[in-house]
Amino acid sequence: MIDLHGIFPPLPTSFNKDESLSTEHIRKNIETLNRYGLSGYLILGSNGELVMLSHEEKIRVMEAAREAIPREKLMLAGTGCESTRETILLSREAARAGADAVMVLNPFYYKGQMSQAALVSHYHTVADASAVPVIIYNMPANTGLDMTAADISAIADHPNIIGLKDSGGNLAKMAGIIHNTKKGFQVLAGSAGFLLPALTIGAVGGILALANIAPQNCLDIYHSFVEGKMDRAQKLQQEIVSLNAAVTRNWGVPALKAAMDHLGMYGGPCRRPLQPISEEVKKKLLQLL
C-alpha cells in the first residue's frame, strides 16, 4: 500500500518558446520544489497538459521527472487515455519510468456510453494490467463527465485501486465515497479551494495546482489540521481562496505558468490552442502573489 497522505503539486509540463518539450526546465522546477516538505508530485495531470503531448513525449516527461524526484518522494503519473488499451500501454511505461502509482482520468469522449459497467470494466482491466497501484481521477470541469459516488465506489472495489483524486468539489459526495469504499482507500482533494473541508471529512491530503507556486501555504493548512490547530487552519484556508481561484477556475494553466515565471521558476508557454493570459489579467494575478 502506498501512503498518499500530504500535499502533491500537479507539475506543469515545460515547453520552450517554439512549444517543444523542455525536460531541463521540468527537472529544475522539481529541484526548486524539493526544498519543501511535499509528499511527492503528480506528473502529466490536467496542469501538465497531458492531452497536448504525444505518447513518446509523455514517456520523456516521466523519465525526466523521476531523475529529479528523490526516492523518498512519490511520483504519481497521469496515464488516462480514451481507450483502455492505450491507458494500459501508458501505465506500463509509467511503471518502467519509475512511477510509484498511476492516476487514471476516466474516458469521456463517448460520455453517453460511459455507463457504470463500462467505467468499472475500464478501470479494473487497467488495474489488472498495471504493475503499480491505480488512483481514480474525477475531473468533471475538463471531461464534462462527473462520475457518481456509486460509480467510484464500484470502481474502487479492486485490490490495485488505492485512491481517488476528486476535483469536483462536492463534499457531500466525497464524504459518501470515503464512507462506502474499502478500508484504506485514500481520497485526495483536487483543489486547494476545498483542502481543509476535504480533510475534515476524511481526505488524506491534496493534489493542488496552488502547491506549485505556494507550496508552504498548502503544507501549513495540512499540518495545522493534522496538529489539531483548526483556527489557524481555517484562517490559512481563507487566505488562499482568491489566489487558488486565479490559477484554477478563473484563468487556468496559462495563469499558473505566468505565476511560476514571476516567482523565479519556469512556467513558459502552454501549447496551443491554449493562449497566454493578457496583460490586464497578469496585473490582477500578480496582485495576488
Q: What is the pLDDT of residue 151?
A: 98
Q: At what angle do helices 116-129 and 84-97 cross, to 10 degrees?
A: 30
Q: Which residues sit opposite 136 in a β-bridge?
A: 104, 164
CB 45 within 8 Å of CB 103: yes
Q: What is the pLDDT of residue 1?
A: 81
Give the chain's mean pLDDT: 98
pLDDT in tens, 113-156: 999 999 999 999 999 999 999 999 999 999 999 999 999 999 99
* Phi, psi dihedrals of residue 78, rounded to the nearest 5°: -75, 125
pLDDT in tens, 246-284: 999 999 999 999 999 999 999 999 999 999 999 999 999
Instruction: For the chain, give the percent of residues with pLDDT over 70.
Output: 100
User: Is the pLDDT confidence value at 91 over 90?
Assistant: yes
In whole angstroms, what separates CA 71 from the centre of its chain?
19
The per-type count for the chain, helices as H runs and strands as E runs, is 13, 9
Q: What is the pLDDT of residue 209?
A: 98
Mean pLDDT of all residues in 206-225: 98
Read out DSSP for 203-225? --EEE-GGGGT-HHHHHHHHHHH
Mean pLDDT of all residues in 61-83: 98
Q: Which residues sit opposite 186 in a β-bridge?
A: 163
User: Is the pLDDT confidence value at 78 over 90?
Assistant: yes
Which superfamily, per CATH, for 6-236? Aldolase class I (3.20.20.70)
- Domain boundaries defined on the chain: 6-236
Read out DSSP for 103-126? EEEPP-TTGGG--HHHHHHHHHHH
Q: What is the pLDDT of residue 63?
A: 98
- Known catalytic residues are 165
3-state secondary structure of 26: helix
Query: Residue 28 burial by CB count (10 A; 0-12/13-18/19+): exposed, middle or buried?
Result: middle
Distance CA 14, CA 172 (A): 36
Mean pLDDT of all residues in 30-56: 98
Mean pLDDT of all residues in 65-71: 98
pLDDT in tens, 157-170: 999 999 999 999 99
